Structure 1
Amino acid sequence: MVRGKTLAFVGDSVARNHMESLLCLLSQEETPVDVFKDSEDRFRTWYFRRHEFTLKILWSKFLVMAKEEVINGSSTGTFSLNLNEVDGEWAREVSTVDIAVVSSAHWFFRKLYLYEQKSLVGCVYCNEPNVTSYGPEHAVRMSFRAALDHINGCSRRTTTLLRTFSPAHFENGTWDTGGACARTGPYEEGEIDLGGSEWGFRKVQMEEMERAKVVGRERGKRFGAVDVTRAMLMRPDGHPGEHWGNKWMRGYNDCVHWCLPGPIDVWNDFLMAALRLEGGMNS
């Protein structure tokens, strides 16, 4: 299906998690060559010589341009987003790929200032006079809109797949207040909430994908979804939790990323199905 092609995952560390799952699965068939790693180990490229297939991760927290506020040399965790300008680091690369898998969401759960044409138009998680307050769903919507519009504007006929929101499963607190994910089995169908915020993020993403698909159809572009949200809502047992081994952040649980091997591997079954459906590719 991907012989002679380049596939790139565009997004944050969960996008990288997805890419690593695919890398592990494909490595059972052929050992890839590690072609490129940047100084921060965020942009990576592997090449499968026998299949002439290139696999990349293009790192981006928000998909659009973002700048973190720094006070007295210390990071604040507050970002300003330019909703009219995509992050050039991935945007320059995406015009060279045949298949792009675009995703992001977890970085939007923080204080954000939203700009359009250099003018402040709103903010997330703030209560400031004369500034419109939005939920993180709005910031996600506008960031995905900018990203998909950029891809639609590229001359290359890239097949673009939007990977929907991947839920976290913190219980008894958030990541920095003692939250954990110690369950050892999946939820039953009736135990998941399809009316929660996770489903709201998926709805926003799917709407933006459908919008891009309408525009792209006239330009010979293909858009589709790798829809993982419902399946992953059921898997609170699939996260590293306290066993993630991060030497810089001891004492915190990772209930956002997914174990390898683990439930995340099914995302690549969904990916293959989406490529056949939207990419016109056959095995």
Structure 2
Amino acid sequence: MVRGKKMAFIGDSVARNHVDSLLCILSQEEIPKDIYKDSEDRYRKWYFPKYDFTLKMIWSRFLIVGEERMVNGSGSSIFDMQLDKIDYDWAKEFPHLDYAIISDGHWFFRLMYFHIAGKLVGCLYCQDPNVKNYNSDYPFRMAFRAAFKHINTCTKCRKTVTLVRTFAPAHFDNGGWNNGGYCNKTSPMNVGEVNDGVFEWQLRNIQMEEFERARNEGKKKGQRFEVIDVSRAMFMRPDGHPGEHWGNKWMKGYNDCTHWCMPGPIDLWSELLLAVLKRSYDATRMMSS
């Protein structure tokens, strides 16, 4: 299904987490050539010669343009978000891809100012007078809507199958990542323990709403959208994070309850990816015959 193809994961560090899992699985068949790595290890490219298959990681925190304000040469954790402008780093690569797995979400919980057509339209977590304050679901929705709109209006992108991976929740208990939160559970939840009312589930539903909108529009233009819905399964795996054992030398004392251990529950995402690719591949073959 991927012989002679190009596949890219577009998103944040959780998308990279998925790529690393997939690489471990595929390397049992063939060890790829590591053909590109940028200075920050965010943009990566691997090549599998036996199958002429290229796998990429394209870093994009927001899918749209989001620029951090700098203060005395250092980051301020304040972002100016251009809700109507696509992140060029992934947009320029997209027409050359056969498969694109898009995900994002964990960066949308910072102080932000929202701009449309160059005008300030609101903010997140700001206390500025006369500026409308939104919840983080607003920029999240607008980012996916803008990304999907770009794909559907891109005449050079018709060969690309867009796969949306839904939001994978973190599991911090008794605090956040930077104020003592931890994840010490040692077994999965059962179905009855999953709370569909939590905010992370709302983010998943926003993605699904925007996905359905984009897919319906894409059908008119020959654009193909698929979904890899991992949210409910990952809600049930609070035991699957590195926690205090992530070995980060720059941020000692913090727990990682956002990313996923390998091998572990994140490997399921690649099983679901395979199933979706097979369904799309079979449908394409039926249409061509």
1:190-201 equivalences in 2 (<5 Å): 190-201=192-203
Task: Give the aligned partner of residue 97 of structure 1.
Answer: 97
d(CA) in 1 for partners of 2:230, 2:86: 25
Structure 2 residues not aligned, in runs of 5+: none
Q: Deviations over 1:137-177 (max 9, x none)?
A: 11100001111112222213210011100000000100000
Task: Give the aligned partner of residue 12 of structure 1.
Answer: 12
d(CA) in 2 for partners of 1:14, 1:165: 10
d(CA) in 1 for partners of 2:114, 2:106: 17
Aligned identity (percent) is 56
1:268 equivalenced with 2:241 (yes/no): no
d(CA) in 2 for partners of 1:273, 1:130: 49
**Structure 1 residue corresponding to 2:243, chosen from 241, 244, 248:** 241
Task: Give the aligned partner of residue 152 of structure 2.
Answer: 152
Q: 1:5 Cα shift?
A: 0.7
Q: Is the 8 A contact 2:99 2:162 kept in 1?
A: yes
1:194-213 equivalences in 2 (<5 Å): 194-213=196-215
1:73-84 equivalences in 2 (<5 Å): 73-84=73-84
Q: 1:66 Cα shift?
A: 1.1
With structure 1 as the length reference, what TM-score do the two structures score?
0.97
d(CA) in 1 for partners of 2:137, 2:276: 24
d(CA) in 2 for partners of 1:151, 1:278: 18
Q: Deviations over 1:241-264 (max 9, x none)?
A: 111111111110000000011100
Structure 1 residues 45, 281: closer, same or farther in 2, change over 3 A?
Answer: farther
Q: Is the 8 A contact 2:43 2:59 kept in 1?
A: yes
Task: Give the aligned partner of residue 133 of structure 1.
Answer: 133
Amino acid at match of 1:90: W
Structure 1 residues not aligned, in runs of 5+: none
1:149-228 equivalences in 2 (<5 Å): 149-154=149-154, 155-157=156-158, 158-228=160-230
Q: Is the 8 A contact 1:223 1:278 kept in 2?
A: no
SS in 2 for 1:198: helix
Moved more, 5-14 or 267-276: 267-276
Task: Give the aligned partner of residue 60 of structure 2.
Answer: 60
Moved more, 118-127 or 199-208: 118-127
Q: Is the 8 A contact 1:66 1:79 kept in 2?
A: yes
Task: Give the aligned partner of residue 28 of structure 2.
Answer: 28
Moved more, 74-83 or 173-182: 74-83
Q: 1:276 Cα shift?
A: 2.6
Q: 1:126 Cα shift?
A: 2.1
Q: 1:281 Cα shift?
A: 6.0
List structure 1 runs of 4+ shifted beyond 6 angstroms.
none
Corresponding pairs, count: 282
SS in 1 for 2:93: helix
